[in-house]
Structure 1
Amino acid sequence: MRALRYPLIGTAVLLLVAPVPVRAGNRGIIGGQAVKVADVPWTVALASRERFGPVRSGQFCGGALVSRTTVVTAAHCLSREVLGVEMSEAKDLRVIVGRDDLRGGAGKEIALKDAWVNPAFNPETNGGDVAVLTLAEPVTDKAPIAMAKEGDAAYKPGTEAGVYGWGDMFGNGAYSPTLRGALVYVMEDGMCRQAYPGGPEGVYQPSTMLCAGLPRGGRDACQGDSGGPLVARGRLVGLVSWGSGCAQAGRPGVYTRVSAVAALVWAHSVDPAPGAAPPAAPPPAQPPVAPPVRPPAPSVAPSASPQVAPPAPGAGKRPGRRPRWA
């Protein structure tokens, strides 16, 4: 069964209570191993000590850096259900980059300049589960990851993919203090439909979702990894979204299909999409138009031809037009 909806009060509290079923909002890495963030520098953590306490830097979700100032994550990570308050009331939301061990102080914690949560996100179906975070300062020492476009071979069933995060390692509330990753495989849409045909376990929508895992189970995302990256062929293909249980046979993890939301991401990013033409430079300013210089009255007889001075530079030319985007 897909989980009932419990707001995440804080990692320290979750570790003290009985494990809850997993649903959108509560996903982590099972069957994986330790990973260095230097090898996956685009993997970031979302954190709020105010909402989740100081343990593990206040981490509660994951995300992926797709440009110097843009992080993508799951929409449900910023819901009232997860934060316990409206997003606007969570004053200390941070993105942590470059930190393997959440108990330490390596890397950097960056405040948010803006956050856009997909208004079309449906918490009942989990469709449209994407949000865009704009960092208050650019990340200059970490390489962003490219988002795989529609038709990319990275979406082909059977493709190896890696999923990364700091979440539950065993499905029992044992959150990892260090970054972990697991090797999974992109699965056929037919298998995903069979796993999630509808009802309380959720419905798989291939146009906006993809699923990944192992048919026998054993490796998966779990509690605490929501919004984290699923990467295949070096490109971002999915964001951890939802599933039934963790690493169970016949119940793969379901991810937001990145190709279905990439346009939304770039529409709400302050950075241009890769390959986009840079804005046209304004034309060079023209020198001011000087009026014609009139010579003094000639001191010749009326019958003589007047002396005409040459025009001043720029005289007679129209000043440069102001471009419409200025």
Structure 2
Amino acid sequence: MLFYCLSCTVIISTTTLIGCGSRKTIENPTDIVPEELLEIGLIGGTPTEIKKFPFLVSIQKLSIPRCVGSLITASWVLTAAHCLVDLNRKTIFMLDPYEFTLISGRTVMASGTMEGQERSAEMFIIHSRFQRPYLKYDVGVILTTKPFVLGPTTQPVELYTMPPEVITFFPSCTLIGWNTGKHSFDDYEGPDLKPNSMKLEMMELKLMSSAQCKAILRGLISMDSVCTYLEEQCPGQSGSPLICGESLFGIFSWTAGCTNSSLPAIFVRVAKIYIWVHNVTHGQYIESFRKRSSLAEESGRASFNLIYLLNICILPIVYW
């Protein structure tokens, strides 16, 4: 389970950053390590069912819950870019899709549960402007090896496409995800430490004005971001969708702190990256980095070798 907390919550004309439970003085902004896996799950949510949010997908690495995604077509899942890269490297290094499984149509994630559908990942694509440490343009998509079968508990979500300059008033928006409990991602590395169950929950979040968010997090957000208040709440897993009205409005990226309404949660603004998502899911790989599954690459090489052997062995016999 990935949950990100930026190492700073408030920056006030100094280099002292108030971290999640610790203080750190940064000599250079590029030295900031922006992500920190918190030993905490979704807080402040209420139970819900997958049929109310049939676009929700659990992204798992080696059967370990890692992030949340949103089904945007039968074959494509939208999530945060940092879910698809190796966080132990300072440079951007994409993980192997072969290790990932996508699960839809499931209210409770529990071992042995047969509810829903499972698909393997074939390809990852992330935005080429994705930056660490500040997680700008933190957006990525996953192509499945075969499409999900659409039904009452598996349906794509509509993307919010109104440009950011068009102001739409939403009294509140809804974040959805599985409550993984008070565990860090590392707690799940052992086969005996996987959670017994992860229940689907939802929470209402109020949008914060861009001016106020920028005042709190100076220089750490851009036009591709949208902020919400956290009133005794914690958003949970990275990539969780923020639904405003009936559309996917934001993708959870990181937070400067939990259960404190003065500190925001940061989401990727879907309207800002909508055109990019449309392009890459239609074969136009502009401003993107791609990574295919090692299994798919092996299959491709095997097919090429077979064709090559046929050409050099069989065709000469035919012509002879």
TM-score, normalising length: structure 2: 0.66
Task: Give the number of the structure whose residues are more often helix, by fraction.
Answer: 2
Identity of matched residues, %: 22
Distance 2:268 2:171 in 1: 17
The letter for the 2-side match of 1:127 is K
> 2:248 is paired with a residue of what secondary structure?
strand
Instruction: Determine if contact 1:220/1:247 at 8 Å carries over to the other structure.
Output: yes
* Corresponding residue of 2:86: 80
Deviations, residues 277-320 of structure 1 (Å, cap 9, x unaligned):
xxxxxxxxxxxxxxxxxxxxxxxxxxxxxxxxxxxxxxxxxxxx
Distance 1:96 1:265 in 2: 21
* Corresponding residue of 1:232: 244
TM-score, normalising length: structure 1: 0.65
Task: Give the number of the structure whose residues are more often strand, by fraction.
Answer: 2
Within the alignment, does 1:193 sit opposite 2:200 as a pair? Answer: no
Distance 1:97 1:155 in 2: 33
* Corresponding residue of 1:301: none
Alignment gaps of 5+ in structure 2: 9-19, 23-32, 188-194, 285-320
> 1:80 is paired with a residue of what secondary structure?
coil
2:137 is aligned, of 125, 128, 139, to 128
Instruction: Determine if contact 1:63/1:228 at 8 Å carries over to the other structure.
Output: yes
Structure 1 pair 208–29 and aligned structure 2 pair: CA distance change class (3 A)? same
Distance 1:245 1:88 in 2: 27
Alignment gaps of 5+ in structure 1: 5-18, 50-56, 273-326
* Corresponding residue of 2:299: none
1:212 is aligned, of 224, 228, 232, to 228
Distance 2:128 2:179 in 1: 26
Within the alignment, does 1:137 sit opposite 2:146 as a pair? Answer: yes
Instruction: Determine if contact 2:7/2:36 at 8 Å carries over to the other structure.
Output: no
Whichever of the two has the greater Rg, that structure is: 1
Deviations, residues 237-266 of structure 1 (Å, cap 9, x unaligned):
100001112232211100000011111111
Within the alignment, does 1:178 sit opposite 2:195 as a pair? Answer: no
* Corresponding residue of 2:168: 156
Distance 2:199 2:166 in 1: 27
Within the alignment, does 1:243 sit opposite 2:250 as a pair? Answer: no
Distance 1:154 1:171 in 2: 40
1:221, distance to aligned residue in structure 2 (A): 0.8
* Corresponding residue of 2:315: none
Q: How many residues align?
A: 242
- Runs of 4+ residues over 6 Å off in structure 1: 19-22, 82-85, 152-155, 170-176
1:32 is aligned, of 42, 45, 68, to 45
